[in-house]
Amino acid sequence: MGRNTRKRRTPLATKAIAASAALALGGGGLIWANFYASAHESNSSGQNQTYAATGQVATIACPDVQQKLTNVPAKAQQGVATELANLDKQVTEAYTRLASTRQAQTQDASFVQNAIVGPLKDKRAATLDRIRIDIQRVGGQVDAAGLSALAACTTQSANQTNAGGQQQNGGQQQQNGGQQQNGGQQQGGQQNNGGQQQGGQQNNGGQGGDGPSAADFVDITKVQPNVAAKPQKSGNASTGAFITKCGVNANQNHNSDNVIVAPGVTNGAHHVHDYVGNQKVNAFSNNNTFLQGGSSCQNKNDLSAYYWPVIRLQDGTQEKDANADGGGKDLNVGKILTPQQAQIKYVGSPTSKVVAMPQFLRIITGDAKAFVNGPANANAHWSCTGFENKVQLTDKYPICPQGSQVVRSFAFQSCWDGKNIDSANHRTHVAFADAAGNCGNGFKAIPQLTMRLVYNVTPPTIQNGQVKNAYAVDGFPEELHKAITDHDDFISVTTGGLANKIANCINTGQKCQ
């Protein structure tokens, strides 16, 4: 797996991804809801086949508050994080309400506005006001009117977001050191945000009722090669690599917390994570408990937390969390798949030496809400063994040929501001290098964390617009299990001088572990 070199996609990529997923709406996000009698209704054509929706589809556009809060005083951060988690919970509840009121909506055209969107605005307004108070109480500055303006959500019908016609998921992607095409062509018919529309019916089911759909998958053998060359290495490049072996989470260390974004909030992620490395990561962990956490890594000085959303096979399996938060209660259903391989590797910069990662540095790569937020922070990479150097996908799940395995790969931000281990929106303290591999704006190159997860997955098949043996990444319910929402989380925790050893290994061109 190569380097990420671009922080933001070009207009071509943005247009292409938006065409396939109708991603952005105004500065907010889209919430898609399929209306089923039951989200877990049995499928008469087989348990491992996704539903075809026969009802309406509605969208709700809500501004993303977290990304706009870039300057929160330290003393207010815990309170603000709690309120941001409340906003996520409110959206989840609104989505669930949309999905369970099909009959009422057909009988009353104003039902969604009066019973769902209006109350949601009121809840959001109260929560935003609490965020304002939290910030001002400790002397922080906030645009009260601007914050209040983020309360309102609007609705749209399905045909208002119809991408239409033939789509191409082309564009430039942030991996392997350059610009690469991202996805190939999806043939046939009208595309409507997660399913091919036939006779007014939306095939956008999924076992949990909110995706994935047939249009979320692509036969990788039919995608044109799209991986570009890595940037040229300068004479000052740091060419070494450090591998840490931490296992594949065979012990099933799972939870649906989100300690970086929602500390102190149970089920802050609304989806389940795999954890390797540090074994004591949950909503209530802190820097002190990380040091006590123990590690699944062979190098016991590596106490870092490496975690990512699980993949599930939608085969009708009642997983252990079928009735729990983060699992079935958040429409994440099916058998959790354990990776066959999980490679964690730190690599260098093509243009400079690296400095050691600071203790407790937090990095999130990708965006769990990229379907509703738009692709600006999306960093998903999907491929198949035997194809990784040819094809990488961002907004599609690959259908791999027989004998080939599904691969998820991540290349984290490799530039650090030199001061902060986190930031208010959990992004601005780190950045991607530019297309040539350089860090800008006073940022320093750090060892770039890369991860490669390999899964044995029965190849999905698509018949009559339905997917058999669908697999999907866990996510927020309103994200419809889209491939573009894949993401990865990391907290650097080391002892015994390991951070310096990693940097020295990379700077001297060695291969270490």
Q: Which residues contact 473 (CB under 8 A, 6 or more apart)?
A: 309, 310, 311, 481, 483, 485, 486
Nearest-angstrom CA–CA distance, 100 and 94: 10
For residue 471, report the phi and psi dihedrals to the nearest 5 degrees. Answer: -125, 155
Helices 77-99 and 118-137, packing angle to 10 deg: 180
What's residue 51's pLDDT? 34
What's residue 209's pLDDT? 60
With CA atoms as reference, report the closest residue to 218 among 189, 187, 175, 180: 187
Q: Which residues contact 109 (CB under 8 A, 6 or more apart)?
A: none
Helices (H) and strands (E) in the chain, counts: 9, 28
What's residue 208's pLDDT? 59
Evaluated on CA atoms 216, 398, 169, 433, the torsion sign reads positive
What's residue 280's pLDDT? 96
Q: Are strands 511-512 and 241-244 parallel, antiparallel or unpaired?
A: parallel
With CA atoms as reference, report the closest residue to 412 among 455, 469, 363: 363
With CA atoms as reference, report the closest residue to 10 among 327, 435, 313: 435
Q: Which residues contact 30 (CB under 8 A, 6 or more apart)?
A: 22, 23, 59, 60, 61, 156, 161, 193, 371, 372, 478
Nearest-angstrom CA–CA distance, 489 and 300: 20
pLDDT tens across 336-358, in order? 999 999 999 999 999 999 999 99
Nearest-angstrom CA–CA distance, 164 and 160: 11
- SS3 letters for 105-139? HHHCCCHHHHHHHHHHHHHHHHHHHHHHHHHHHCC
Nearest-angstrom CA–CA distance, 460 and 221: 14
Nearest-angstrom CA–CA distance, 192 and 385: 30
Q: Are strands 167-168 and 185-186 parallel, antiparallel or unpaired?
A: antiparallel
For residue 161, report the phi and psi dihedrals to the nearest 5 degrees. Answer: -120, 20
pLDDT tens across 286-333, in order? 999 999 999 999 999 999 999 999 999 998 889 999 999 999 999 999
Q: Which residue has the tokens 């070199």?
A: 5
What's residue 206's pLDDT? 63
Nearest-angstrom CA–CA distance, 433 and 79: 32
For residue 317, report the phi and psi dihedrals to the nearest 5 degrees. Answer: -65, 135
CB–CB of 309/365 below 8 Å?
A: no
CB–CB of 426/437 below 8 Å?
A: no
- SS3 letters for 329-345? HHCCCCEEECCCEEEEE
Whole-structure pTM value? 0.81
Mark the ranges of the chain whose per-residue pLDDT is less than 50.
Answer: 1-55, 57-58, 156-204
Nearest-angstrom CA–CA distance, 55 and 203: 10
What's residue 146's pLDDT? 92
Please give the structure tokens belonging to residue 362. Answer: 């937090």
Nearest-angstrom CA–CA distance, 415 and 365: 12
Nearest-angstrom CA–CA distance, 314 and 55: 21
What's residue 412's pLDDT? 98
